[in-house]
Amino acid sequence: MQVPGTGMDFRSPQIRLLIVAALLGLWTAAAAARLADLQLARYTDFLTRAERQQQRIVEISPKRADILDRNLHELAMSTSLDSCFAVPAEIADNALVARLLGPVLGLPPDEIATRLSSSRSFAWIARKLPPATVARIRQLNLRGIYFQKENQRFYPKRDLAAAVLGFVDIDEKGLGGIEYQLDARIRSKASRMLILTDAHNRWYESTDKAPEAGFSVTLTIDENIQFVAEKELATAIEQTHAKAGTVLVEDPSNGEILAMASWPRFNPNAAGGSRPEARMNRAVGALYEPGSVFKIVTLSAAIDQGITRPDEVVDCQNGAIHIAGHRIRDHKPYGLLTVSQILAHSSDVGAIKIGLRLGAPKFFQYIRAYGFGELTGIDLPGENRGLLRRVENWTPVSVGSISMGQEVGVTPLQMINAVSAIANGGLLYRPHVVLALRRGTQVEQEPQPAPRRVVRETTAATMRAMLEGVVLNGTGTKAQLNGYTSAGKTGTAQKIDPATGRYSATQLIASFVGFAPINNPAITILVQLDSPVGLHDGGSVAAPVFKRIAEQVLPYLNVPRDIPVSPATLRAARRSRAPEDADISDFEPGQFTPVGFSDSAQAKPISAAALPVSASAPTVELAEGAGISIPDLTGKTVRQVTEICVQLGVNPVLVGAGTVQGQSPTAGATVRPGASVIFHFGRPAATPARLRTQARIRKGAAR
């Protein structure tokens, strides 16, 4: 057959071959175009969809380095717990699995089912579970349910120094205190887990190598001094029914903070269940009018300028003075007083008259020199710079008000730092709580700026003698110490009533700030109580707290006594328990998250003497197969005990420091999951055999 006009015959083999070749060429071109579209134009889109269906990268909580006190006792550490996840592609019935897991986890089945339906490759079910819960889930033997080790932050001393340490979230990110301030240094990079699912719904897991560890943080805080500060603050709150309070202990020679206590407090192991006001570090963030404590600034500035001297007599006008049409009355009708007596008896009229002679410009310069109205630069988050208006914005009555501690807002940290400048001879140091950062053999210490001189050394010496008069003969007599000289100043500041905008007659802030011993101060202590009920002046409620803290801390620091002490006081000191024996902590493994955890932040510390150490294990009723045998942990460290107890599923109660010297229940006893086991830490006794061994070691070293 021929095509008319072409001369082509379709029956010709050559023509048929050409037609087949043309059709094949068209098909090949179409396939190539399609492949080009899939492999080039739409490659990224299809790859993303495939990865979403077949694989998922999950970040595992990173391990945080330890936070230690100045004696290298652990205040924060990380432990390992199991987290439960699912590969939904392997689960045939999501609803059934949700109904089985719900009662075990204490979660609504609908919530678990929603998590299972959110992805085909991976879904978290519950994270950082206690060992007992993990064991119950494993017993269910559910297909598609797996476990992954994750790190959890643990604070072995519970609420001790919680405001300084801060806390972390479920992903181990710092949310407060040092945990937030140094988060990038403490926190290692998160490791990643890759979940792969093939076409037959089989899953594969791979985890990358552990990242480099973060820096451990050594604080200036001493856990024993911190315990004393928190214990005495809690006692004062209970006695005075104050709304809040703060205690600070500082080394005036270098600005190191030895203790920083706030009330209310919280348990960082259960931070999610605490109130926001409990998580606030009041020492750096709470603003208040200092009241009469601020007279230290007023009088030291005037003495430094040569405007007055301690023995100058001032007419206090029978307790009343008029400034710019305002009448200011003293708390007592004083007549003639020396400048030293003005400070000792806290005369407002006397302080105002000296402040007026000093003048606003010079007064403002000294206030700023002491660090008020600006950040101290402490290495903690949330610091308040205080309230100090520019001198050109002062009113005619401002000098008088500020002279007696009104119309200016300060933080407790600013106030103690200013008094430390008087204690150390007139130098203002930058306060700090971080001593060093360590990673292996690498040690980093942040350089501290050189202190600046606030007043002349002679002025500081004069003020120390005047402040001793406050304690000996003035408003601070309840701050007198047994065996040590002391100096300080009381303060009773009225709070502003929000309803009226005026000073309240009943809501006050009582405070005392002082140092000891006088000639070579080792510590400066500030005590502040917000709105005490009943007795409310600083001399009555804050000065006794200073006394109790100083009389425990000074012997602990081996500070030599500088005045005689009575035999009765010595006998009482020998009978008292040492601060380092009073540490207490508790932990419920896996219960860090807010769900299912009760906040025990308000629980009081328990003394070691109150904890029983029985010769045999207590009698307990156990369901069949539900018991946990307690091993012998004698000689183990705090970290080792914590990790072992977490794995066993029991609650360690850690008392003291060092290594385990005793435990209750004893080794071999059987307890329920979640039961408390008390461990007493200390130093091993020096037995004759041990002394002989040490002698041989010393003799060998001598050779």
Q: Where are the domains of the chain?
A: 2-41, 57-218, 223-575, 611-682
pLDDT > 70 in the chain, percent: 80
b vs e for 381-414, b when ≥16 Cβ sit within 10 Å of the residue's Cβ?
A: bebebbebeebeebeebbbbbbbbbbbbbbbbbb
pTM: 0.76
pLDDT per residue as tens digits for the range 36-51: 776 776 767 766 665 5
Residue 100: HSE in the Cβ half-sphere, 13 Å Cα cutoff: 15
Instruction: Please give the distance of CA 682 from its chain centroid, rounded to a whole number.
Output: 25
Q: Are 632 and 655 in contact (CB under 8 A)?
A: no
Stated as kind and residue range, the H or E segment containing 320 is strand 320-323
Confidence (pLDDT) at 340: 94
| CA atoms of 596 and 105, how far apart (whole Å) | 9
Please give the DSSP secondary-structure letter assigned to residue 610: G
Contact 323, 396 (CB under 8 A): yes
CA gap 696, 703 in Å, rounded: 11
Q: Are 508 and 532 in contact (CB under 8 A)?
A: yes
For the CA atoms of 512, 515, 517, 520, the dihedral, rounded to the nearest 10 degrees, stands at -160
Locus of tokens 């009662």: 103
- pLDDT beyond 50 at 592: no
How many whole angstroms separate alpha carbon 169 and alpha carbon 175? 7
User: Which percentage of the chain shows pLDDT scores above 90?
Assistant: 45
Pairwise CA distance, residues 458 & 423, whole Å = 12
pLDDT at 617 over 80: no
41 SS3 class? helix
What pLDDT, on the 0 to 100 scale, is given for residue 586? 39
Please say if the pLDDT value at position 570 is more than 80. Answer: no
User: pLDDT band at 1, cuts 50/70/90?
Assistant: low
pLDDT the model gives residue 337: 93
Flag whether pLDDT at 352 surpasses 60: yes
Structure tokens at 150: 């994750």
Q: Which CATH architecture has domain 57-218?
A: Alpha-Beta Complex (3.90)
| Cα 193 to Cα 212: distance, rounded to the nearest angstrom | 16
Q: How confident is the model at residue 425 (pLDDT cuts 50, 70, 90)?
A: very high
Section 545-556 average pLDDT: 95
Whole-angstrom distance, CA of residue 367 vs CA of residue 375: 13
Q: How confident is the model at residue 270 (pLDDT cuts 50, 70, 90)?
A: confident
- Confidence class for position 566, pLDDT limits 50, 70, 90: low
Residue 83 token pair: 């987290």
What is the pLDDT, as a whole number, of residue 204? 52
In this prediction, residues 144-173 reach a mean pLDDT of 89
* CA distance linking residue 660 with residue 684, whole number of Å: 9
Name the pLDDT band for 589 (thresholds 50, 70, 90).
Answer: very low
Q: How confident is the model at residue 687 (pLDDT cuts 50, 70, 90)?
A: low
Least confident of 91-100, 375-384, 603-612: 603-612
Is the predicted pLDDT of residue 524 greater than 50, yes or no? Answer: yes
Instruction: Tell me the range of 134-138, 426-430, 678-682 where mean pLDDT is highest.
Output: 426-430
What is the amino acid identity at position 209?
Answer: K
Beta-carbon neighbour count of residue 320 at 10 Å?
A: 13
Residue 206 confidence class, pLDDT cut points 50, 70, 90: low
pLDDT at 4: 61
DSSP characters over 99-120:
HHHHHHHT--HHHHHHHHTT-S
- pLDDT single digits (tens) 221-256: 999 999 999 999 999 999 999 999 999 999 999 999
Angle between helices 457-473 and 295-304 (to 10 degrees): 140
- Determine contact, residues 299/366, Cβ cutoff 8 Å: no
Residue 681: pLDDT band (50, 70, 90) is: confident
- Locate tokens 């080039």: which residue? 40
For residues 143 and 338, the model is more confident at 338
Give the closest residue to 259 by CA, choosing from 155, 378, 164: 164
- Report the distance separating Cα 123 and Cα 145, nearest Å: 10
Task: For the beta carbon of residue 586, count every other beta carbon within 10 angstroms.
Answer: 18
How many Cα atoms sit within 13 Å of 478 on the Cβ side?
16
Reported as a pLDDT band with limits 50, 70 and 90, residue 190 is low
Is the pLDDT reported for residue 608 higher than 70?
Answer: no
In sequence order, what are the residues at sequence separation of 6 or more whose Cβ sits closer than 8 angstroms to the Cβ of residue 508? 492, 493, 494, 495, 531, 532, 536, 537
Mean pLDDT of 91-105: 88
∠ Cα 215 220 221 (to 5°): 110
Domain 611-682, classified CATH 3.30.10.20, yes or no: yes
Is a pLDDT exceeding 60 seen at residue 155?
Answer: yes
Who has greater pLDDT, 213 or 260?
260
pLDDT at res. 582 = 35
Q: What is the pLDDT of residues 372-415, one digit of tens each?
A: 999 999 999 999 999 999 999 999 999 999 999 999 999 999 99
Residue 559 identity:
V
Tell me the range of 91-100, 174-183, 194-203, 687-696 where mean pLDDT is highest.
174-183
76, 204, 265, 314, 643 from 194: Cα distances, Å: 30, 8, 41, 80, 27
**Distance, CA of 220 to CA of 71 (rounded, Å):** 9
Residue 282 has pLDDT above 70, yes or no: yes
User: Which carries the bigger pLDDT value, residue 10 or residue 99?
Assistant: 99
Question: Helices 348-358 and 360-369: crossing angle, nearest 10°?
Answer: 100
Mean pLDDT of 14-30: 80
Rounded to an integer, the average pLDDT of 146-155 is 86
Please, what sign has the CA dihedral across residues 277, 282, 284, 285?
Answer: positive
Greater confidence (102 vs 640) lies with 102
Task: Specify the pLDDT at position 5.
Answer: 59
Residue among 11, 36, 592, 516 at smallest CA distance from 273: 592
CATH of 223-575 among 3.10.310.10, 3.40.710.10, 2.60.120.920, 3.20.20.70: 3.40.710.10
- Distance separating alpha carbons of residues 383 and 381, to the nearest angstrom: 6
Query: Does the pLDDT at position 584 exceed 70?
Result: no
CA distance 182 to 68: 14
In this prediction, residue 614 carries a pLDDT of 34
Helix or strand or coil: residue 13? helix
Confidence of residue 577 (pLDDT cuts 50, 70, 90): very low
Buried b or exposed e, range 186-201, using 16+ CB within 10 angstroms: bbbebbebebebeeee
**Which of 115-119, 169-173, 345-349 is most confident?**
345-349
Nearest one of 476, 464, 443 to 345, comparing CA atoms: 476
Task: Identify the CA nearest to 589 among candidates 205, 187, 270.
Answer: 270
pLDDT at 143: 86
Cα Rg, the chain, nearest whole Å = 35
Residue 307 CB: number of other CB atoms within 10 A?
Answer: 16
User: Mean pLDDT across the chain, nearest whole number?
Assistant: 82
Residues 290-340 have pLDDT tens digits of: 999 999 999 999 999 999 999 999 999 988 898 888 888 888 888 999 999
What is the model's pLDDT at position 591? Answer: 38
Length of the chain: 703
CB 628 within 8 A of CB 650: yes
At residue 116 the predicted structure's pLDDT band, cuts being 50, 70 and 90, is confident
